[in-house]
Each structure stands twice: as structure tokens, then as C-alpha cells.
Structure 1
Amino acid sequence: MQTAYLILNTGDVLEGTFLTEATTTEGEVVFNTSMIGYQEVMTDPSYEGQLVTMTYPLIGNYGCNGDVKESDRFGAKALIVQTVSHYPDHPTSTHTLKQLAEKTKVPIIYGVDTRHLTKIIRTHPNVFGKISTNPDEKVTMTKIDPDVVKKVSVKDVQHNHSYSNRHPHIAVIDFGQKKSIIDALTAAGANVSLCPYHTTKTELDQLGIDGVVLSNGPGDPVDCLSLIPTVRKIADHYPSFGICLGHQLLALSYGMQTKKLVYGHRGGNHAVKSSITGKVYMTSQNHGYVVCEDTVTNEFDILFTNVNDQSIEGLQHKTKPVTSFQFHPEAHPGPTDTMHLIEAFVRDVAKKGAIVYA
């Protein structure tokens, strides 16, 4: 195996070993605190443009299988781990982490001091890095491609109609959606149409939909400002449910602002508190940006806040069926504490009634 170097724009150089074929790749360096879910991370379009550090030290111990994936292609640009399990033990495992990496073309380096790397990321905002066989290379990347949403979105409408016409028809606007969102909507009883990121209200009208989910996705929400007028038209006409990037775009469409966190929230153990009940939920998260609290308009109530840093985790319009969440209610990987939010959205779209999230 060949020596790998992770060169950071902070001036640090960390050494590891290529698990896969030696290659050079560059991206934003982020960390994920999940103990499980490495396969979902590798295939999640939200990680496009990022080199992901898994803070849990042993990765690959339960193997991989063909059913556990968030997309067929897109995901992390690379995975950085401390220790790789070469002999997974799980009844559903069909191949190893190395075999998955070779199949998905996601480079993996191991033997890296991920604890030290995580401390660097927590200390310095905007950490970018390059993985290479040459420790003297320089990091040139300073921002994720502003057209990254266009890259990961579907090109044409895809239908998943599992039920009769009596069931609600929900469009998912694909900014980089996870397959788990489609699965959760379908399990809740919805017919789903997956639509390209630039789909207009007129095109949704032609599909005959009842509600809209604005999906998660990669990159800076401000890079999608050209989509904001369309998002607002959709939200003014249809019951709308935003997740992660979709949440941020909904907020922007109503005049709010977003900001970049120092190191983001990524993992399956993030606690959020309901502003209605005071109950705390464990959630799955994957984002580097949040809605600025001081820009929330009086049209909206704050539904959830992050227990650790009090950032906004959920918004609900006071008079319209427009709701959005910074976390991932569909989980995968992570706890299912907030799955009821998706189920409530599908149920209330079907009833065409007021949607209340308590």
C-alpha cells in the first residue's frame, strides 16, 4: 500500500496509507461523529466536494451491502479514517469497505490521526485539503464548486407511484437528495415524483402534485440564489417541507439570511429541542450552514433549536403549510426520533389541512 499525505491549508500535513489506488483529490475537510453509516456517507450527495473524516476509530467492521446507499454515484470525494476493518462480521454484509471504495471510486486513506485532524477542523474555519502521494503539494481549492447542486441533481423527472390516486402525490425537488427521503415518503403513504433542482411551479402544476419536499444537498445556499424566486412561488402555492439545504433555501426565499458554521454539524447524535413541547430529540445532521436567528421574520415560528449551540433547527410559517428542518427527519444513518415529522406532512397533505408539528 502506498503512503498518502493529507495536506491542509492550515499548513498541517498528516500521513496515512491509501486503502484504494493512489490518487490526488482536493476538497473541504469535514468530520462526521457517527459510529455507523460510513456507506451512507460515501454515497450521500450532500458530501460532494468534501473529504470526510470519520471520528469513530474503527470503520468497516459491519461490512457493506448493495441495499444501503443514498445514491448510485455521488458522495464524499474521499474518506479519512484511523483503522479499517478488513474482516467485517454482519449477516447482511456482501463486501468489505475496500471493495465498496473500489466500486464507488471513493478514495479512502487510513492510519491517519483522526483525533488530531478533528481538533484542527474545530479550530480553523474553512479547512480545505489535498490528498496526494507528494507531501509538498499545495492546496489550491478555497470553495466548493458553486454549481455543485446542478452536478448532483437528477436531469429528468422520475416517478415512484406505489399507491392509488387516492394517496397524496408529493414532488421532491432534488438539490442532492438522499434515497432515504424517497423511502420515508413512500413508507408514509405518498406517491413521489423526483424533480430536477430547477423545476418550476408551472411544471409542478402539470404533474398534478399535492405537496413539495425541498431536499438536502451540498454547497453554500447563497450559490443557489437564482432559484430563490422559484422556491418562493412553490412555497406560496403548495404545502412545503424543507430538509437541510431545502430548509435554508426556504428561509432565503422569505427574506432570511444564512451563515457558515465554523465546523458544521455532521453525525447521528445531534440533540435538538422542540420550542413547543420542550422535548429533546436525537437527530441525524449533515450541514455547514444555518439560518441566522436575527433574520427570522415575524411570519415564522422557530420550531427547534440545537441544544449545543442554540442554532435554528426548524421553522414553521404561522399561516401557511410551510415547514422546514435543518436536521434529517428520515435519519439514515442515525436515530428515527423525528420520523413522525415526515409522516405528519404526508398525512396532512392528504387531508389538505393545517400541518402542526408538536
Structure 2
Amino acid sequence: MPESNNPHADAPVAKLALEDGTVYTGKSVGAGGEVSGEVVFNTAMTGYQEILTDPSYCGQIVTMTYPEIGNYGVNEADIEHQKPALSGFVVRESSRIASNYRSEGSLSDYLVSHNVLAIAGIDTRALVRRIRTEGAMRGVLSTVDLDDESLIEKAKNSPGLVGRDLVREVMPAQHSVWEQGLDEWTAVHLEDPPAGDDAPHVVCLDFGMKWNIPRHIRARGNRVTILPGTASAEEIMQQNPSGVFLSNGPGDPEPLEYAHKTIAELLPQVPVFGICMGHQLLALACGAKTFKLKFGHRGVNQPVQELATSKVEITTQNHGFAVEEESLPDCLEITHRNLNDNTIAGVRHKETGAFSVQYHPEAASGPHDSHYLFEQFQKQMRQTSQA
């Protein structure tokens, strides 16, 4: 491609090195510096701002498979957390034009303002094929060290995700009350929403929660209190919850023994609903095990089947770990399966009714096929209060 036609021609050089010795050279379209992380990919065509601000990406360098990213800009309404938590961002081409009536700025300016390193102009198809073949790998993204051998060595010595408690890096320090509902794009209309002190009270355990989750819960007329993921069962029950929600979050769920203990104590006391990391933690609290997927599930086009109805949902997913089916205890039944690899995508506790899914029904971004799960949680809280 002629230099004059290269949209990144004037940008500083950036390099991405993988632990297997592969190095990609491109241009910096974000902040300068150097970061390490597990290099993964996401197959979504849109929703890059939601991906950037999803705390579940903490410790990861995210590659977008869609070739042009940034064409509709960024805006405050679509953020999923107060700031990006991912380590770095990789795209084929970063659009120089932000064309959308909702746009409040360019992607590149957003990356710089939030100190996110990003590289463009590399062959993302080759990178994604390598990850699919070899599995997710540790990597280093740099604009300051451009020596290939040095970067490869840094990648080999960087920490992986297994055994690390990344949740502590993204969860809130204190409890808070959530009052924001959904915007006009995904508004939920209830026939007779509860109000005031009579409304169900949902306590969300925040392990790195996307904000569209409490928006959905609040939009259904609930009072919502957010507690850090380290909160004890006693602290949670002091809130007098109608139900407890277990959020998504980054990394390996097995080191979070404090959460396993808390959830096990909550199960006999209150309705429980978990998403993604919350799904894995519910399973671990019941005695199951988890394992690391080869390259994970990340995208807005993941097919899942609800076993009771045979209905297929197209779902948003973002996880690198899954529940091991062979370790599933008798108290849990499988409710959903991922149709790409047949892994467990949902479970239900046979005795307490607690349930969880290995995907994101709040769909930010993504399809709305799975909104019914919030209604299922609502119904369970209502039935418990009437018992």
C-alpha cells in the first residue's frame, strides 16, 4: 500500500510481541508506553467502546477481528465502567472519521485520554489465526522498546491469568446505590413496576460489573445496592436483599476463595443470579471446578441453546474460563450449552433455584435474545417474597 494512502503513516511506531517469538510492527493510535497482557480476540463488528470499558478485560490485550474500528466515534452513554481496564487494544485500521449523530469524540482521542496503548496497521487476520491455533498467549505492546528480542523476552516473563486475583483491581472499594435505568435504545417497559420501599431490593456483588447490568435490574423497578465482591454473607444479608446478583469480572475464578465461601452461605437464604464470572463462582461455591479455554469466547454472535425449550439464543460473551462438566456436583443441573464447543453455558441449583449463565444477557453491546433471564430473576424474587 502506498505510504500516502496509509491512514497511520504519521503515527509513531508500535510493536506487539508474543511469547512464541512472533512480532507485529504497526503504528500507535493510542497512548505511548509499554504494557503486557494475555492477547485475545473479539469477533464483534461494533461495540468497541463497550469492550474497552468492560472490566472483564483487565489483564488482556484485545484484538478486534473486524477490520475498521472507530468509525462511529465514542460517547458517554455507552461506557460500561468509569475507565478502560484492558491492557491494550489491537486493530487493523483505526478510522480517522467519527461519523454518527451520537458521537462525542474520536476513538483515538479517547484512547489517549484514558492512557490506553493501541496498535493499528498490522495483519489482525494472521494474529487471530495464530491465537486460534496456538491458544491465547502472553504478549507485550510497546511504543518505547522497539527491539524484537527484548520484547519477546518480556512477553515470556510477563504474568499470565491463571492463579491471579484480577477482581481486586477493578471492583469498587465501597458500597453504593445505583439509580440509573436503561436508555431509549434498550428500554424495558413494565406493566406495573413496583415503587419506593415496596420495590424488591437487589444487592449486586461487583467483581468488575458492566454498568448495563444494574441498569437492567433498576429498569425493572428494583432498588439496587452495589457491594464489592469481597463483601461477606453477613454484610450482604444486613442489606435485607430480595435477591443477590453475582457480576461478571476478569481472569481466573478459582483464586477468589472469599467469594466461593460467601456464595455458599447465601444460597440457602436468598435468590441468586450470576453472569459470566458470577456463573463460574456459583459453580465453584457448589463444589465444581473450572478450566481455562484455549482461546476463550469473546464476541456478540455466540450461539447458546436453552435445553428446556431447545431455543437457540445469539449471545454476547467474554470469558477465558469455563465450568468443568465432569466436576459438576449433583445439586447443579445444566440449563444452557454453547453450541460452538458444547461447553456449559448455564446452570441451576436444584434445591435453591439459584441460576447463572456463561454469557451476557444485558447485551452491551449485542443482541437482546436473553433479556428474559432478568425477568426470570424478577419472578423468583417475587415468589420468594410471597412464600
Is it true that 1:152 corresponds to 2:170 in the alignment?
yes
- Alpha-carbon separation, structure 2, partners of 1:156 and 1:262: 35
Is it true that 1:136 corresponds to 2:149 in the alignment?
yes
- Cα deviation for residue 268 of structure 1 reads 0.3
- Alpha-carbon separation, structure 2, partners of 1:189 and 1:296: 35
Matched residue, 1:179: 211
Is it true that 1:246 corresponds to 2:299 in the alignment?
no
Which of 341, 346, 371 is 1:314 aligned to?
346
- Alpha-carbon separation, structure 2, partners of 1:349 and 1:286: 27
Q: Residue deviations 1:192-237, cap 9 Å, x none?
A: 1010111111111211111001100001011212331111101221
- Cα deviation for residue 45 of structure 1 reads 0.4
Gaps of 5+ in 1: none
Q: Which amino acid aligns with 1:100?
A: Y
User: Where does structure 1 differ by over 6 angstroms across 4 or more consecutive aligned residues?
Assistant: none
**Aligned with 2:198: secondary structure?**
coil
Q: Which amino acid aligns with 1:143?
A: G
Q: Which amino acid aligns with 1:17?
A: K
Q: Given that residues 10 and 124 in structure 1 are in contact (C-alpha distance below 8 angstroms), is that contact kept between their aligned partners in structure 2?
A: no
Is it true that 1:305 corresponds to 2:303 in the alignment?
no
- Alpha-carbon separation, structure 2, partners of 1:265 and 1:333: 15
Is it true that 1:45 corresponds to 2:55 in the alignment?
yes
- Alpha-carbon separation, structure 1, partners of 2:283 and 2:254: 11
Is it true that 1:59 corresponds to 2:82 in the alignment?
no
Q: What are the equivalent positions in structure 2 for 1:3-22 lying under 5 Å apart?
A: 3-22=13-32
Quote the RMSD (CA, aligned, Å). 1.5
Q: What are the equivalent positions in structure 2 for 1:316-335 lying under 5 Å apart?
A: 316-335=348-367
Which of 256, 259, 268 is 2:291 aligned to?
259
Q: Given that residues 214 and 240 in structure 1 are in contact (C-alpha distance below 8 angstroms), is that contact kept between their aligned partners in structure 2?
A: yes
TM-score by length of 1: 0.96
- Alpha-carbon separation, structure 2, partners of 1:104 and 1:336: 29
- Alpha-carbon separation, structure 2, partners of 1:161 and 1:4: 41
- Alpha-carbon separation, structure 1, partners of 2:31 and 2:38: 21
Higher mean alpha-carbon deviation, 226-235 vs 139-148, is at 139-148
**Aligned with 2:129: secondary structure?**
helix
- Alpha-carbon separation, structure 2, partners of 1:160 and 1:8: 40
The count of corresponding residues between Structure 1 and Structure 2 is 354
Q: Residue deviations 1:260-286, cap 9 Å, x none?
A: 100000010000011101010000000
- Alpha-carbon separation, structure 2, partners of 1:3 and 1:212: 47
Is it true that 1:110 corresponds to 2:120 in the alignment?
yes
- Alpha-carbon separation, structure 2, partners of 1:71 and 1:35: 21
Shift in alpha-carbon separation, 1:74–1:59, aligned structure 2, 3 A: closer
Is it true that 1:279 corresponds to 2:311 in the alignment?
yes
- Alpha-carbon separation, structure 2, partners of 1:223 and 1:15: 35
Matched residue, 1:216: 248
**Aligned with 2:255: secondary structure?**
helix
**Aligned with 2:215: secondary structure?**
helix
Q: What are the equivalent positions in structure 2 for 1:170-209 lying under 5 Å apart?
A: 170-209=202-241
- Cα deviation for residue 84 of structure 1 reads 1.0
Q: Given that residues 32 and 55 in structure 1 are in contact (C-alpha distance below 8 angstroms), is that contact kept between their aligned partners in structure 2?
A: yes
Identity of aligned residues (%): 38
Gaps of 5+ in 2: 1-10, 181-194
Q: Which amino acid aligns with 1:43?
A: T
Higher mean alpha-carbon deviation, 170-179 vs 219-228, is at 219-228
Q: What are the equivalent positions in structure 2 for 1:337-356 lying under 5 Å apart?
A: 337-352=369-384
Q: Which amino acid aligns with 2:158?
A: M
Which of 109, 114, 137 is 1:127 aligned to?
137
TM-score by length of 2: 0.89
Matched residue, 1:296: 328
Matched residue, 1:229: 261
Q: Which amino acid aligns with 2:173?
A: K
- Cα deviation for residue 161 of structure 1 reads 5.2
Matched residue, 2:190: none
Q: Residue deviations 1:291-345, cap 9 Å, x none?
A: 0111112212211001110000000111212001000111101111001101221
Q: Residue deviations 1:98-127, cap 9 Å, x none?
A: 111122221111001110000111112340
Q: Residue deviations 1:36-76, cap 9 Å, x none?
A: 11101111100011000000001001111111111002421
Which structure's CA Rg is the greater one?
A: 2
Q: Which amino acid aligns with 1:176?
A: G
